[in-house]
Chains A and B, each alone.
Chain A
Amino acid sequence: MSSTNRSGLVGQSVQRVEDDRLLRGNGQYIADLDPDNVVHAVFVRSPMPHAKINSIDASAARRAPGVVAVITGDDLKDTTHPFPPLLMLPGLYTPMYHALSADKVRLVGDPVAVVLAESRALAEDAIELVEVDYEPLEPVADIADALSPSSEPLWEKAGSNVVMDHTDTFGDIDAVFAGADRVITERFECQRQSNQPMETRGSLVMVDDDGHMTIHNATQSSHALRWLVAALTDKQSMGASLKAIAKNKDRRSSFASGMKSFLQSNSDDLKDQDNSGAAAQFKKDKSFLGAMNKIGVGLLAKESYPTVKAQDIGGGFGAKGSIAREDIAVAAAALSVGRPVKWIEDRIENLMDGGQAREESMTVSIAVDNDGTFRGLKVDMVMDQGAYPGFPVGAPMISKMIKVMFPGSYKWDAYEIRSRIVATNKGKYVAYRGPWANETWARERMIDVTAAALGISPAELRLKNMIGEDAMPTAMITGPTIDATMSTRKTLEHALTLVDMEQFEADRAEAAERGHCLGIGIASYHEAAPGPPNYWDSINPGSGMLMPEEGYTTIEADGSVVIYTSQMPHGQSHETTYAQVAADELGVALDDVKLVYGNTDKTSFSLIGTGGSRGGPIGGGVVRKTSREVRRQIAEKAADMLECAADDVEIIDGNIHVAGVPARGITFAEVAKQAADDGAKGDKYGTPFEYGTNYNGAGDGGWSTATQICVVDIDLGTGKVTFPRYLVVEDCGPIINPAIVNGQVRGGVAQGIGSVLYEQATYDEDANLQSATYMDYLLPTAMEIPEVEVHHLETHSEGFENDFRGVGEGGMIGAPAAVTNAIENALSDYNARVTTQYLPPTKILELAGQISPD
């Protein structure tokens, strides 16, 4: 098989296919679309963090110049369903809420109405004329407020602002803690951050004369958006829906057969599911069952589902994986006004409610022996999910990822984690690049705290407890299998060889004379990229069915190669890497491969799209598997034409020939034409050659690993922190395109540095947002981010034909730990203890004892 992989593109830093259009300014981002007759949507947003809505008077706004319509929360109640509870975990209450708030607002920025006008400016004029009578409620600003039993509940049916409280225990935790030499405890707090892609969110919805809706949207998850819009905007009566179903035999039977195949292919996962969460949810809020029924029947009855299209997307980092309330409101607005409706979020809106993350408090206890052997680990975590849970992935799902990953690459005898989620009057919590990353931060921080207490060096303590190849295969205490791809130890050992500690000590002494403190910090971790098959089951039993993704490789009648993916690229360079993989498999040039994405009419369903480091291993794996099969089909056909055995067919640069006789070769076009003439026609795309597969990326490992080491330089006069050195040793298995991998790692590290030194979504004690512009939410610039050395290990997972592993998240996951560890190390003469992730200059000088807190 490998004899045909002559182009050798995989492993090369080939130039990006995307760049020609993007660097010429010919990209097509959502805001660039400007259909005739479009109206611009602007949301009326609450200026109050927490209030009852007594009334809304939109009459003056409706009369304002250029206004086409004003839709209020009450209007939308009649035309849309509320967001349904999707993930009903044991111990969790999941609220239901409409796209626009009608009765109560829960954060500054909560949308209560939407104005449609001839220009964005005119709509902004009109939103000022919508009069809302608010009756203020006590704001819930932070975790402490929310934990207080007397706080005003955001969700009455939840009973309090603690919407989840659940404990998972692995091993005999009490015995292990009782038997260890020492127990060390520390509390770590991470501030609220925001994903902040450079392009804000946006949606353009058009409804054609037949009632078919097309949604152009900057979404990481086109199919999930399609289904949710279909589900929530269909509000005919139950009777009408049932009648429509009764009339439509085709739909009934296709539904039945679809259901059957779903049940068959996911039977194990379905059996494993724990339904106690749904039962508890039902006890607290019976209405969800009715809503789910109506949505289900409505979906069945629906004539046509929307088409979602997305082309170029200006970054997402998880924030565009959520289906926004605004997305639903814009779709409903387009249905009601009969003109294209365009919503381009502005930066203030984005900073208010475009997605926030990471606000977690974690009390960590380590039971350890005096020789440094880790025994037990206890975590008491509270996550602040803000006002509305991100949909479909929010704090509850992420709490489960934290649960699984917290023990890290180390061996433990027992582990327990209590996970609480609270509701507060702040922006919605979404997945942000490595959504579970605070497990790495708190654990790696805690290891340094422990090392200091025991008088052992941080590197030594890590090496003493880290699982090595000799112990493999094994499993994390939380369940997932560990194989050789869990190579964290190798990354640490290699990283340590890259640092000259003697030189560092000399530099440190020299810096001290200038009033500067140098410090060094380490962070080591592994991440599921995508993880072994039992990773998702460890997160939540039965959720393994989220893993697979379907994609196709096709050869069209003219011989061109077209790949269909459900991935939704937004900066990751899929067009390049997938072309590299397919071109190598098929023996064609990079330019011969075209990638189709972002159009739900053409691609297969995927709940996730791009996220969770899936692009390389799963999406890339699909491309490799399907191209390989298509290559086999072509060889078979060509063998007939060339009158040789299929095994003797060689393809080089698109020339299909008998091995060793390239002069008598035939082209893809010739073979495709012959196949078409002979009646070959794929089921899905109707092309002469096509193959699709539903692939879950499984090896027994599927881990990516890394160690980051950085040196910080702190100026005690100013509290400014710079980085004389930053290095990452990463292992994501075989690399498709090194330049792209380096870019992912460096971009992630930059965000992690931002997390520690610059970025905080700041609210005051009354939950008013203080960081609503880029003057106050600080993204680091080229002057703040250092050069990052990236070193690669490429551990292979033996025995698996497809071994790519994800690399999009690791940079971000490790950086906050490495940086905060280095800062504590730098300030060790001042007995500093770093317990917050956010360390702006004021905090640095407080830690260094130069100033006292105000």
Chain B
Amino acid sequence: MTDTTSNTDTPRLQAERDAGGSIVDLSVTVNGTHHQVSVEARRPLSDVIREDIGLTGTHLGCEHGVCGACTVLIDGEPARSCLMLGAQAEGTEITTIEGLAGPDGELHPIQQAMMEAHGFQCAFCAPGFLMSAVALLDENPDPTTAEIREELSGNLCRCTGYQSIVAGVETAVRVMKESGK
């Protein structure tokens, strides 16, 4: 699937050139769909995903790498999309929260588990927690509570006190073990 956007002559990009900034042509695959966009070189990947590609499930909480809400998977590894230029993602495969559910809309076990565990409240932080949790479970399908807490400590939540989020990951571990996924 290709979703090509060609927008080199928007007022935004024209002004960017006047301001002395480079424009880069960027080709990335997000959740299995290929995208070709022209963006400012200074544009962080998070803004490219949200504004140029239009997937707003990835959130920006601090834009300096501390809160973790913008965490996505780049070629399967978790990364802060606010601390990467879009240009650095050239040629990569990116997974965002929108890419977790199956093609038929079936929730990923971590999504299902968070629902069962009442993991989140305002859920602004949820995209980052979900992507960090997926990365953790990919690498360590049977983490201890302490390992879950350590791995999730790169993501801030202001609503829950974390206990329900940790419980959600534990639920997902159980479900994934049972279903042999």
Instruction: Mark A residues whose CB is within 8 Å of B.
Output: 13, 15-16, 18-20, 22-29, 31-32, 34, 64-66, 117-119, 121-122, 125, 196-200, 312-315, 317, 346-347, 570-573, 739-740, 742-744, 746-751, 773-775, 779, 781-783, 785, 787-788, 811
Contact = CB atoms under 8 A, between A and B. Distances in A.
B163 A788 contact: yes
Contact of A25 (B16, B98, B159, B164): B98
A25 B128 CA distance: 11
A125 B100 CA distance: 37
A198 B122 contact: yes
B125 interface: yes
A246 B19 CA distance: 52
Q: Chain B interface secondary structure, helix, strand, loop or mixed?
A: loop
A119 B50 CA distance: 14
Contact of B152 (A16, A27, A347, A782): A782
B12 A313 contact: no
Contact of A788 (B18, B152, B161): B161
B33 to A, nearest CB: 14
Given A121-B40, A122-B15, 8 more contacts: A15-B118, A25-B96, A31-B56, A747-B159, A782-B148, A782-B149, A782-B155, A785-B161
Contacts of A200: 61
A16 B115 contact: yes
22 contacts: A23-B97, A23-B126, A24-B100, A24-B107, A25-B56, A31-B59, A65-B15, A198-B159, A312-B123, A315-B124, A346-B63, A347-B63, A347-B67, A571-B121, A747-B159, A751-B158, A773-B66, A774-B67, A779-B156, A781-B162, A783-B149, A787-B163
B118 A739 contact: yes
B162 to A, nearest CB: 4
Looking at A24, A29, A750, the one whose CB has the most chain B CB atoms below 10 A away is A24
B88 interface: no
B29 interface: no
Interface string B5-43: 000001110111011000000000000000000001011
B55 interface: yes
A-B residue pairs, 7 tightest by C-beta: A25-B57, A314-B124, A66-B15, A571-B122, A750-B161, A25-B97, A746-B161
B116 interface: yes
Nearest to B125: A198
A743 B160 CA distance: 6
Contacts of A773: 62, 64, 66
A28 B60 CA distance: 13
Nearest to A126: B19
B118 A740 contact: yes
Interface of B: 10-12, 14-16, 18-19, 40, 42-43, 50-51, 54-64, 66-67, 69, 96-98, 100-101, 107, 111, 114-116, 118, 120-127, 130, 148-150, 152-166
A24 B58 CA distance: 10
A16 B42 CA distance: 39
A571 B150 contact: no
B15 A117 contact: yes
A747 B19 contact: no
A570 B59 CA distance: 16
B15 A198 contact: no
B117 to A, nearest CB: 8
Contacts of B10: 118
B62 A573 contact: no
Looking at B62, B69, B100, B123, the one whose CB has the most chain A CB atoms below 10 A away is B123
A13 B161 CA distance: 18
